[in-house]
């Protein structure tokens, strides 16, 4: 995922994710109505979302530098392996990595060997078993716009295979002498056009042979190590750094989520859309009152997560969570610097698709955002009696290929306290 996301379009009013807007919420009242809005004591109103549905937008998971003499600034991971997760179903991944020819390549007397050096940095699945991975030669140059479900990509037969334990940090794979004899001269090619190194060698593809785990390798610290003799009886080595990468991700079977939950899945782009209507009760009864606290509660069903986790099984943690609020058409005016005036007035950063960016963080029971930002959003929405944003997008954006299950409780959850809800605490004026 070059930086695509795990999107969740969130409500059509204004408020999200465990977001508080003030430090003092003591003496919180209950309900709403004429009597409860008197006396200057804080009053809290609660609303359930009007909709709570999932949709899909697949991530871009290829990473290609803008020029041939550089490497991508982000997206350094490739995923390899197949995992059967009781919560998710079966997910299969395949990793492609291409290598940059180093400077100073010249003539050689002989090529003594080629090793593929891989650095692990991500695990998802069974940590007790050994994972066997096949190495193949790529047939196709990695493109910058390949998505996780890209089809029609071909690659060659198995060159060799290697085992990876969950505890391994560095893996050294010796490519067979037959492959070195056939392809070694290509690694030293200084020709241009169709005979150039870049034209003749498109890198390697790593596929699954066995094992119930997905392993992530760090492209930036993985390389081809070529041992050669530039002249008789003179030993030397060259390192071909990982320069391009792509991860294919496919959910081959799907498990049904537990009752009262929705499963969101990074990498595969399973997202959430929900909304609240500020023109309906209880919000339409508040009037122009100061907002003491604004909180959107999106609980995570941690119990179901734990019960669906086998022994010696790990799931990756969320790596990047953002809330992107898209401005309504009438509020998309930009400043001279290209910022949205709306975002600037709310103290928020402007981001893609005429949106304001709100940082989110993971708490013990759900998701959270800066209190001050949410208070300003809600208070201004009530003041103008119209929504500021027509869509909120929950974005899990690590900038890397990931498979991150997130199990959210729905409005149908059995326990009322585990249901998603919007809570606004106001201070009535005497």
b/e map 179-196, b = 16+ CB within 10 Å:
ebeebbeebbbeeeeeee
Burial of 309 (0-12, 13-18, 19+ CB in 10 A): middle
Q: What is the dihedral of CA 49, 50, 52, 53, to 10 degrees?
A: -160
293 DSSP β-pair partners? 425
Beta strands in 18-109 (DSSP E): 29-30, 43-47, 51-56, 62-63, 77-85, 89-99
Q: What is the DSSP string of 289-341?
A: --EEEEEEE--B-HHHHHHT--TTEE-PPP--EEEEEEEPGGG--B-TTS-BH
Q: How confident is the model over 159-166, as a mean pLDDT?
A: 97
Written as six digits, the tokens of 343 are 């975002």
pLDDT (tens digit per residue) in 58-73: 888 888 865 545 444 4
Which contacts qualify for 306-312: CB closer than 8 Å, 24 or more apart?
Answer: 308/85, 308/86, 308/87, 308/258, 309/86, 309/87, 310/86, 310/126, 311/128, 312/126, 312/127, 312/128
Burial of 117 (0-12, 13-18, 19+ CB in 10 A): middle
- φ, ψ of residue 166 in degrees (nearest 5): -60, -25
What pLDDT, on a 0 to 100 scale, did the predictor assign at position 367? Answer: 80
Tokens 């023109």 sit at which residue? 279
Nearest in space to 97 (alpha carbons), one of 218, 268, 238: 218
Tokens 């899909």 sit at which residue? 56
Distance in angstroms (rounded) separating the CA atoms of residues 387 and 12: 7
Alpha helices in 208-289 (DSSP H): none
Q: Quick check: 3 pLDDT over 60?
A: no
Tokens 């593929």 sit at which residue? 116
Distance spanning both ends of the chain, measured CA to CA:
53
Neighbours of 50 (CB within 10 A): 14
Q: Quick check: 303 pLDDT over 70?
A: yes
Burial of 2 (0-12, 13-18, 19+ CB in 10 A): buried
Range of lowest pLDDT (78-87, 182-191, 341-350, 381-390): 381-390
What pLDDT, on a 0 to 100 scale, did the predictor assign at position 258? Answer: 92
Distance in angstroms (rounded) separating the CA atoms of residues 106 and 200: 17
Tokens 């699945």 sit at which residue? 125
Q: What is the DSSP string of 157-221?
A: EEEEEEEE-TT-SEEEEEPPHHHHHHHHHHHT----GGGSHHHH---EEEEEEE-SEEEEEEGGG
Q: Quick check: 255 pLDDT over 50?
A: yes
Distance in angstroms (rounded) separating the CA atoms of residues 155 and 188: 22
pLDDT (tens digit per residue) in 91-141: 999 999 999 999 888 888 899 999 999 999 999 999 999 999 999 999 999
Written as six digits, the tokens of 136 are 């193949």
What pLDDT, on a 0 to 100 scale, did the predictor assign at position 325? Answer: 87
Q: How confident is the model over 280-303, as a mean pLDDT?
A: 82
Q: What is the mean pLDDT of the chain?
A: 84
């Amino acid at each position: 995922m070059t930086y695509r996301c795990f999107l969740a379009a969130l409500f059509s009013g204004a408020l999200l994710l465990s977001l508080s807007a003030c430090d003092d919420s003591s003496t919180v009242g209950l309900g709403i109505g004429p009597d409860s809005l008197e006396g200057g004591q804080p009053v809290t109103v609660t609303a359930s979302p009007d909709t709570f549905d999932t949709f899909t937008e697949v991530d871009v998971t290829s990473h290609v530098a803008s020029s041939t003499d550089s490497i991508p600034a982000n997206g350094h991971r490739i995923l390899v392996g197949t995992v059967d997760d009781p919560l998710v179903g079966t997910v299969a991944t395949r990793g492609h990595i291409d290598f940059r020819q180093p400077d100073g390549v010249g003539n050689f007397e002989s090529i003594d060997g080629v090793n593929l050096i891989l650095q692990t940095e991500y695990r998802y699945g069974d940590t007790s078993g050994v994972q066997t991975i096949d190495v193949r030669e790529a047939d196709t140059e990695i493109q910058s716009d390949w998505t996780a479900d890209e089809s029609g990509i071909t690659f060659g037969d198995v060159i060799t295979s290697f085992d990876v334990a969950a505890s391994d940090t560095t893996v050294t794979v010796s490519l067979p002498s037959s492959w070195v004899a056939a392809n070694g001269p290509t690694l030293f090619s200084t020709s241009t056009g169709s005979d150039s190194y870049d034209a003749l060698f498109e890198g390697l593809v790593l596929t699954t042979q066995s094992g119930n785990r997905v392993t992530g390798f760090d492209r930036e610290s993985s390389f081809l190590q070529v041992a050669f003799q530039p002249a008789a009886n003179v030993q030397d080595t060259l390192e071909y750094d990982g320069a391009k990468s792509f991860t294919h991700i496919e959910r081959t079977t799907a498990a049904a989520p537990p009752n009262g939950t929705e499963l969101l899945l990074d990498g595969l782009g399973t997202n959430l859309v929900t909304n609240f209507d500020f023109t309906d009760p209880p919000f339409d009864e508040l009037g122009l009152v100061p907002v003491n606290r604004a909180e959107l509660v999106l609980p995570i069903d941690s119990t179901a997560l734990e019960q669906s986790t086998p022994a010696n099984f790990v799931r990756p943690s969320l790596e990047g969570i953002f809330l992107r609020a898209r401005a309504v058409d009438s509020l998309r005016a930009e400043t001279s610097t290209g910022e949205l005036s709306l975002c600037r007035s709310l103290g928020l950063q402007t981001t893609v698709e005429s949106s304001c960016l709100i940082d989110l963080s993971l708490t013990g029971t759900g998701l959270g955002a800066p209190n001050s930002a949410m208070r300003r959003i809600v208070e201004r929405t009530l003041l103008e009696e119209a929504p500021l944003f027509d869509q909120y997008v929950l974005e899990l954006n690590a900038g890397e290929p990931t498979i991150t299950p997130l199990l959210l409780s729905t409005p149908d959850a059995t326990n009322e306290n585990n249901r998603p809800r919007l809570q606004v605490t106001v201070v009535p004026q005497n």
